[in-house]
Amino acid sequence: MNGAWIEPAIAILGLAGITLLTRAFFMIPERDLPMPDWLRRGLKYAPLAALAGVIAPELVMTQGALIQTLQDARLPAVAAAAGYYFWRRGILGTIVVGMAVYLPLHIGLGW
């Protein structure tokens, strides 16, 4: 039996430790960490900013370039999903409406 498993095991354990430490960083102290009010307010928007940073390029780009046509099934699907969300404020319905518009256009019409 050779020792080829040692380096991958060390790497996996190290990455797991780093992940655990960084994700639990705010839960480790027994009292709240002092934060300026501007930072506390800004952190409320971090999940939304991360989501927008991941989704926005997927909506307007194809293979690293901006889409060149309005006949892209993603655009009407996003418009319908956004309209539903602002009307009803429901996440599941937003996903269902977006997919109900996207799939027929993409699969049926080939957009």
Query: pLDDT per position in the chain (111 positions), as tens?
Result: 577 889 999 999 999 999 998 888 777 777 877 889 999 899 889 888 998 899 899 888 988 899 988 889 999 999 999 999 999 989 999 999 999 999 999 999 988
Eight-class DSSP state of 33: P
φ/ψ bin of 67: left (φ > 0), alpha (ψ from -120 to 50), beta (otherwise): beta
Q: Letter for the amino acid at 91?
A: I
Residue 62 belongs to what H/E stretch? strand 61-62
Can you say how many angstroms the Cα of residue 19 is from the centroid of all Cα atoms in its chain? 18
Alpha helix (H) residue ranges in 28-68: 37-43, 46-60
Contact 98, 77 (CB under 8 A): yes
Q: Letter for the amino acid at 84?
A: Y
Global pTM value: 0.60
